């Protein structure tokens, strides 16, 4: 297996990540997925790896815990792991303890499920436990279903304890009647004066969402953009090093048809549905002045791509002009094409693993502008990353969308999109990471969008303008240093 920049274990895949920070290192527990490589004797369940920079990882192997997502905390020198199991269709929360994060003693007498009164007996998983200083007790959040008449029962359940052993059922912390399924992998953290409740949904809208409040009890406000990323990023949980907070999730694959939904006549894999699990992707969480949250590329990952790749551009359609971008290491180009599509391309192909960076500025009436990944001079077969100022969004489209087949068969306009508010005449910083089939896009230092690229394995970098004017400043390509 060729080593990938975005981590996954050899011959396997990363599932839900449970991050814990101590002694200058992020200790990342994760659910280990063998898929087709499964065979008797292999270790399942929770595995552990360590990292200080999200670039290099130290794989430490299985923990002897076979179960679902949970949480780890340390109290008086003892580590406590809370996780979930699924015996015979039931869902139960379990407890284990350790002194070294590697060897865990299970406490089966403390296993418990929902009460059947406040919470229905179906969903009961993904415990998150912390000491609530304001209320003087431990809180446990769980993915649950609140009892009620509507099918929209998904909620963040709440329990309280004085000793991490005996838990009392409380009314749900958050039960908005938005989702039919449980609010998966809930967590709660505080930055400054704001509390943030994070959870994941796979019904209605698939993604990682957050709510905000001045109190851990709520009421929980929904920000204008409630998600940290798009459809291709899931099951993320966060941890802080005391200064910055990071989000650890997975970019899912499209290779195994785990749910049996792939179109039988589709050519290639870009048409295919998302699998469970994939490669580990880390975003940095930032807090805006109004308290809302955004995501950006961690500085250590940005710095890892330090080897410049020479790139010169040639116009293919439209009138392109090179301008002085003010920095010698990049190329700056501008194009005005108010009634048509214009594009320019690099002479050489993109590296298989690389970072693309540029600052993009629009005229007020530009329909769209952006980047063609792995394209050729025909300007059709490519992955299009498009900034659309008039629609206040960022989109990702694959090559199928440029063909007659895609136009006839896709039931939606774009494959992936993220909202983004553009400021008039202001340059927008764009950073794109490519790692084989993985594509991670960061815009404006506050919005992230994950994607996959399967069917085109090689090609050039293109810049394009769709009916308008745009300037691409300091366009650069870097390899890993």
Where do the domains of the chain lie, and which CATH numbers do they carry?
A: 13-303 (2.115.10.20), 307-479 (2.60.120.560)
What's the Rg (C-alpha) of the chain?
23
- Does residue 137 have a cis bond before it (omega within 30 degrees)? no
Pairwise CA distance, residues 189 & 196, whole Å:
5
The C-alpha torsion from 114 through 120 and 121 to 123, rounded to 10°, is: -80
Query: Per mean pLDDT, which of 147-161, 251-265, 399-413 is the most reliable?
Result: 147-161
Within 10 A of 322 (CB to CB), how many other CB atoms are there? 13
| End-to-end alpha carbon distance in the chain | 21
Within 10 A of 328 (CB to CB), how many other CB atoms are there? 7
Average pLDDT, the chain: 94
For residue 267, pLDDT beyond 80:
no
Pairwise CA distance, residues 314 & 369, whole Å:
17
- Residue 232: both structure tokens together: 């291709």
User: Within its chain, how far is the Cα of 33 from the centroid?
Assistant: 18
pLDDT at 54: 98
pLDDT at 403: 85
238 burial (CB, 10 Å; 0-12 / 13-18 / 19+) is buried
Pairwise CA distance, residues 90 & 127, whole Å:
15
pLDDT digits (tens, 9 = 90+) for 286-335: 999 999 999 999 999 999 999 999 999 999 999 999 986 545 568 999 99
Distances (CA, A) of 169 to 109, 119, 120, 182, 448: 18, 9, 12, 17, 37
How large a percentage of the chain has pLDDT more than 90?
A: 85
């Amino acid at each position: 297996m060729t080593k990938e920049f975005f981590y996954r274990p050899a011959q396997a895949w990363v599932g839900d990540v449970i991050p814990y920070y101590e002694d200058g290192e992020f200790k990342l527990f994760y659910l280990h997925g063998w898929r087709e490589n499964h065979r008797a004797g292999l270790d399942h369940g929770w595995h552990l790896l360590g990292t200080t920079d999200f670039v290099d990882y130290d794989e430490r192997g299985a923990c002897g815990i076979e179960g679902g997502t949970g949480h780890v905390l340390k109290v008086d020198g003892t580590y406590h792991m809370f996780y979930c199991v699924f015996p015979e269709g039931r869902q139960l929360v379990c407890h284990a303890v350790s002194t070294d994060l590697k060897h865990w003693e299970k406490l089966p007498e403390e296993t418990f499920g929902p009460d059947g009164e406040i919470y229905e007996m179906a969903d009961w998983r993904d415990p998150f436990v912390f000491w609530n200083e304001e209320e003087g007790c431990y809180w446990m959040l769980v993915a649950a279903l609140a009892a009620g008449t509507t099918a929209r029962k998904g909620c963040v359940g709440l329990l309280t304890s004085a000793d991490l052993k005996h838990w009392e059922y409380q009314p749900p912390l958050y039960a908005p009647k938005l989702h039919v399924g449980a609010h998966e992998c809930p967590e709660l953290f505080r930055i400054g004066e704001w509390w943030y409740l994070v959870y994941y949904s796979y019904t209605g809208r698939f993604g990682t969402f957050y709510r905000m409040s001045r109190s851990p009890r709520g009421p929980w406000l929904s920000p204008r953009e409630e998600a940290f990323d798009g459809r291709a990023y899931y099951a993320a949980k966060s941890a802080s090093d005391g200064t910055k907070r990071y989000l650890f999730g997975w970019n899912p694959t499209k290779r195994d048809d785990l749910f049996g939904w792939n179109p039988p006549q589709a050519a290639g894999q870009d048409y295919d549905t998302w699998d469970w699990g994939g490669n580990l992707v880390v975003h940095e969480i930032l807090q805006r002045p109004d308290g809302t949250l955004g995501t950006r590329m961690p500085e250590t990952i940005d710095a890892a791509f330090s080897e410049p790749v020479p790139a010169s551009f040639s116009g293919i359609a439209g009138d392109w002009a090179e301008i002085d971008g003010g920095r010698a290491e990049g190329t700056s180009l501008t194009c005005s094409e108010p009634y048509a599509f214009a594009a320019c391309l690099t002479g050489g192909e993109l590296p298989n693993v690389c970072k693309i960076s540029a600052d993009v500025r629009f005229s007020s009436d530009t329909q769209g502008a952006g980047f063609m990944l792995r394209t050729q001079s025909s300007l059709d077969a490519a992955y299009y990353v498009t900034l659309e100022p008039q629609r206040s969004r960022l989109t990702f489209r694959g090559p199928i969308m440029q063909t007659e087949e895609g136009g006839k068969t896709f039931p939606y306009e774009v494959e992936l999109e993220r909202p983004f508010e553009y400021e008039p005449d202001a340059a927008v910083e764009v950073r794109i990471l490519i790692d084989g089939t993985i594509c991670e896009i960061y815009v404006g230092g506050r919005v992230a969008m994950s994607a996959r690229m399967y069917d085109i394995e090689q090609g050039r970098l293109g810049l394009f303008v769709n009916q308008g004017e745009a300037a691409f400043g300091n366009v650069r390509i870097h390899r890993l240093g």
